[in-house]
Amino acid sequence: MSTLVRYGVSAGIVRLTLDSPQNRNALSTALVTQLHDGLRSAAADPTVRCVILGHEGGTFCAGADLGEAAGREPGDVAVDRAREMTRLLRAILELPVPVIGAIDGHVRAGGLGLVGACDVVVAGPSSTFALTEARIGVAPSIISLTLLPKMSARAAGRYFVTGERFGAAEAADIGLITIAADDVEARVAALAAEVAKGSPQGLAASKALTTAAILDGFDRHADSLTEQSARLFVSDEAREGILAFLEKRSPNWTPSWSPARLRNRVTGQ
C-alpha cells in the first residue's frame, strides 16, 4: 500500500503529513486508515507531547474522495464513509496530546472537519476554505460536530449554505482557525516548542477541559448525523451532484440563468 500519511517524530513532536497530492489529499479509505494508525502510534508513545497535522501539495484536504465513492455501491459509500469520518474526528479530539493543524493550502468540505477537530490551527496566506457539500446535494453533517462548537453561529449560517471561499484572516475572525500567519512553519514550530514544555498528565488533563463539551455533543449526536449523512449520500440529488462534479459540469438543479440575472430576480429588478 502506498504511504498516504507520513509519520515522523523528533524531540517529542510527531508530524503527520497528508501526502496524497494527486487527489488533493482527499479522504480516501486508505488515507483515513493511515491517519488513524498515525494517531494511535502517537498516543502509544509516552515521549510524545504534540502532534502536528500538515500536508504536501497545494491542498490540505479536499474532503471525501468522490472518485473512490463513485466506484462503490451507494449504500456502502454512505454508511462506511460517515462512520470512517466520525471515528477519525473523535480520535483527534480524544488524543491525549494537543494536535496543531499546519495549513498553507486549500481546504474543502470534510477537510474542514479535520481543522475543527485540531486544538490549534495555523493557516498561511495560500489557505482558502469552503464548505461545498450543498453544491453536490449533501450537507456538512458529521463535520458539524467539530465545526459548530468552533465557528461563530453567524459564520456557520452563512458558509454552510453558500459554499463561498474565504481566506485565513476570515477563518481566524470566525473561530475556525487560531492564527493567520505569513510563515506557517515558524509559527507552528514555536507553538509546538511551548506545548512540549508540558507534562504528559498536564497536557492530557488540560486538553480534556477544552474538548469535554465537544465530545459530549459528539456522543449525543454522532449516530443521528451518521444516519443523515448516509441518507443524503444515497439520494438522487447526491448521485447527480457527485457525477456532475466528476464530469466537470453543472448539476441538473443549477439555474439556467446567469448569476447577474439571478441577482436581479432576487432584488426584483
CATH class for the domain made up of 5-195: alpha beta
**Quick one: what percent of the chain has pLDDT higher than 70?**
91
Average pLDDT over residues 29-37: 95
**Mean pLDDT over each residue of the chain, to the nearest integer:** 92
Q: Tens digits of per-residue pLDDT, 222-250?
A: 999 988 998 898 889 998 999 999 999 99
* pLDDT-wise least confident of 4-18, 34-48, 55-69: 55-69
Residue 57 CA to residue 22 CA, distance in Å, equals 9
* pLDDT-wise least confident of 52-66, 88-102, 122-136, 248-262: 248-262
- Residue 257's pLDDT is 58
Q: Which of 150, 168, 32 is nearest to 103 (CA)?
A: 168
Q: Where are the domains of the chain?
A: 5-195
Q: Tens digits of per-residue pLDDT, 59-115?
A: 999 998 887 665 555 566 677 778 888 999 999 999 999 999 999 999 999 999 999
